[in-house]
Amino acid sequence: MSRFDMVIVGGQIVLPTGAVVRGDIGIRDGKIAAVTDALDAQAGDQVVDARGRVVAPAAVDAHFHLGIYRPIDEDTRTETSSALVGGVSTVLSYFRTGKDYLNKSGPYRKIFPEVLQRVDGHAYTDYGFHMAIMTNEQLDEVPWLVSQGIGSFKYYMFYKALTLNAASTDAKSYTMADTYDLGHLYRLMMNIAEENRKNSGRISLSIHCENAELIRVFIEAVRSRGGNDLAAYSEARPPLAESLAIAEATVLAEATGCPMNVLHLSSFRAVNDVVQWRSLHREADARTETTLHHLALTTDTTPGGTGGKVNPPIRNAREVDQLWAAVFRGEIDQVVSDHAAIPAVKDDDLWEAHAGFGGTALLYPVMLSEGYHKRHLPLGKVVDLISRNPAVTTGLYPRKGAIAIGADADLALLDLEREQTVSAELLRSAQPFTPFEGKTLKGWPTTTIVRGHVQYDKGQVVGTPIGTFLRRPIVAEAD
Ligand SMILES: [Zn+2]
């Protein structure tokens, strides 16, 4: 009888086909070594009893911001612990030079080793990075970054004219960049497209699509009539601003052949723009993303002032319903948290408050509660949206994102019937508040396993920071 380091017995397994079947899993050397309908519990050095639970691939949170507002080593420790609560085994974090993060600029040949060194030994999940190319010098570093395991990059459409706070309109002091505009984006896309052709596996550009000039005009209008709530914020950064930026980005993607991830789409209009464009350009590679907060929060029901401020903004209930309709039509490829831990309760002045918040701990809970239970989204679709597709998009599939022989043993054990009311403490993040406060969600991970290590169990972090840096794209290994 073959031996395993761990066996997980008695659960219902979500297979890559989406089927949910009764089955057992054998794990050896951190990888899935057996998936069968009857494994002897005696065959494992460690036995996990999964009766009454669903065993799903752990989530791949493909949009994360480690160290944006807090020291990156400390932030990695607390926020990857928070990820475990949401059934997440892998985070893909954005990094850029400029204000926040390490608060400096320079070549990535100097800065990226520092990032890796400061994160090393602090992560409870595996991790990788999407790098924002801010300066001319960094444009030339794209091939070097790819050689270091960076499989994706980032561009912010809205940095060129105005920044996050209305009081500060000096984009340059924020980005610490040279000429950060559409010309820069064109050159970046050319460089990424070339790397994508040269390498096997997908190399892509992630884009935050909001048009800065329109936002400036709408913010002025909304502020002048005293708007200071989340509905006002949505009006100040309307779907039209997303739409115009998507139009610009798609023209350049078509000209350069650059694979693209269109991030955190907040409106039906924005989703439809990308869907229409890719239906006209069959050769185009554009993946669509939305966030769990755009699917679960609305401007009228989110409590507590500025806590729910985020870019692009959360919208009204009608937009949320339309986003769900797009999910059901298969027009949204992935759902992420866009996790950015804010160290203190936000400023009461909407226009001065930090944008963003942490939510990674709610990835499975929101998708199970709002998707599976409330709207009857099949379990297999939930897994596709938060595990399989983000693993594909970021070049991690099939090592991550599937319960299959040879894949990393990254698993979330889900109690579909468990109901809990969200509070900041429950999420185990360093962020002292959550815009989901008081929301009761049904369906929670009870156990999160990373490469065969039980990292989180029954509300407690029980593992150690064993997370490793993932070089991407993963190319199928011959073994
Ligand atoms: Zn983000």
Domains contained in the chain, CATH given: 4-54+413-461 (2.30.40.10), 59-401 (3.20.20.140)
Interior CA angle at 365 toward 27 and 41, to 5°? 25
Distance 340 CA to ligand 1 centre (A): 7
* pLDDT computed for residue 475 by the predictor: 74
Q: Taking a C-beta distance cutoff of 8 angstroms, is the pair 94, 64 a contact?
A: yes
Residue 376 C-alpha to ligand 1 middle, in angstroms?
28
CA 156 – ligand 1 centroid, Å: 10
**DSSP structural state of residue 18:** S
**pLDDT score for 99:** 82
- The pTM score is 0.95
129 CA distance to ligand 1 middle (Å): 12
Quick one: pLDDT at residue 102?
Answer: 84
Pairing of strands 126-132, 152-156: parallel
| Beta pairing partners, 335 | 290
- Asked if residues 342 and 431 have their Cβ atoms less than 8 Å apart, the reply is yes
Please report which confidence band the pLDDT of residue 304 belongs to, taking 50, 70 and 90 as the band edges.
low
313 CA from centroid of ligand 1 (Å): 12
Cα-to-centroid distance, 41 and ligand 1 (Å): 43
- 14 CA distance to ligand 1 middle (Å): 29
pLDDT in tens, 402-444: 999 999 999 999 999 999 999 999 999 999 999 999 999 999 9
Q: How far is the CA of 99 from the centre of ligand 1 (A)?
A: 15
Measured in Å, residue 333 CA sits from the centre of ligand 1 at 17
The whole-angstrom separation of Cα 189 and Cα 183 is: 10
Measured distance CA(150)–CA(448) in Å, rounded: 26
pLDDT at 344 over 70: yes
Q: How far is the CA of 422 from the centre of ligand 1 (A)?
A: 22
Q: What gap in Å lies between CA 65 and CA 79, rounded to an integer?
A: 9
List beta partners, residue 456.
448, 461
Give me ligand 1 centre to Cα 63, in Å: 6
Kindly state the helix (H) or strand (E) to which residue 25 belongs, with its residue range.
Answer: strand 20-28
Strand partners, 336: 291
| Mean pLDDT across 351-370 | 96
Distance 65 CA to ligand 1 centre (A): 6
Give me ligand 1 centre to Cα 341, in Å.
Answer: 11
* DSSP secondary structure letters along 337-377: --B---SSPPPSSTTTSPP-B--GGGHHHHIIIIIIIHH--
Instruction: Give distance in angstroms: CA of 85 to centre of ligand 1.
Output: 20
Q: How far is the CA of 64 from the centre of ligand 1 (A)?
A: 6
CA 208 to ligand 1 centroid distance, Å: 8
Q: Is 212 helix (H, G, I), strand (E, B) or coil?
A: helix
- List the structure tokens of 29: 């050397």
Percentage of the chain exceeding pLDDT 70: 95
- What distance in angstroms lies between residue 309's CA and the mean position of ligand 1's atoms? 13
How many A from CA of 30 to the centre of ligand 1? Answer: 30
Q: How confident is the model at residue 158 (pLDDT cuts 50, 70, 90)?
A: confident
Distance 479 CA to ligand 1 centre (A): 37
From the number of C-beta atoms within 10 Å of its C-beta (0-12, 13-18, 19+), residue 280 rates as exposed
